[in-house]
Amino acid sequence: MKAIIHFFDKLEDKVRGRLSHYPILYGIVGAIGTVLMWRGIWHTADFLSSRYFHPAAGAMGVIDASIDGPFLWDGFISLVLGLVMLLMTGLFVAAFIGDHVIISGLRHEKKVTEKTEEEVEEEESIIKKVHEELHGIGKRLEDIEARLDKKG
């Protein structure tokens, strides 16, 4: 199992490395993968709903003649193809979970909805102080550069 995971991890690294040189193509591949995945989920859900959950389902369990076995495979193939595209490009986790959620989970931070008003205000205060310090450093750097320009 480790060998399989290692193989696909290396494959993802290669694909991302190549596509990163072509950002427009990377975006198109990511968009197509996302649309195919959601199309597959949508079609599969429609099939299952019409086949098993609709109260007027006939003896075969199919209401609409267009929603049959091939319709299920169409959705499933779209889902698998989109998922493979997103996993190979490294966009699956980034698109559906996001870096912020992963990083906050690794740091064991609370979600914003779980934080108290005081904690949020404290974080805002810290961010404001850091911003002011960076602004001050920027000003000092400009002064140093100006002095060096006068000497040079």
Q: For 93-144, how does the pLDDT look when each residue is reduced to its tens digit (9 = 90+)?
A: 777 776 666 666 667 766 666 667 777 788 889 999 999 999 999 999 999 9
12 or 95, higher pLDDT: 12
**Same domain for 25 and 74?**
yes
Cβ partners under 8 Å of residue 68, min gap 6:
62
| Domain count of the fold of the chain | 2
Distance of CA 144 to the CA centre of its chain: 43
Highest mean pLDDT among 33-37, 70-74, 146-150: 33-37
Are 48 and 40 in contact, with CB atoms under 8 Å apart? no
**Same domain for 135 and 71?**
no
pTM of the full structure: 0.56
Domain that holds residue 117: 110-152
Q: Among 97, 129, 144, where does a domain finish?
A: 97
**Structure tokens belonging to residue 128:** 């404001």
Q: Among 55, 70, 97, where does a domain finish?
A: 97
CA distance 86 to 75: 16
Q: Give the model's pLDDT for residue 118.
A: 79
Q: What is the largest CA-CA distance in the chain?
A: 92
Q: Give the model's pLDDT for residue 136.
A: 93
**Same domain for 89 and 121?**
no
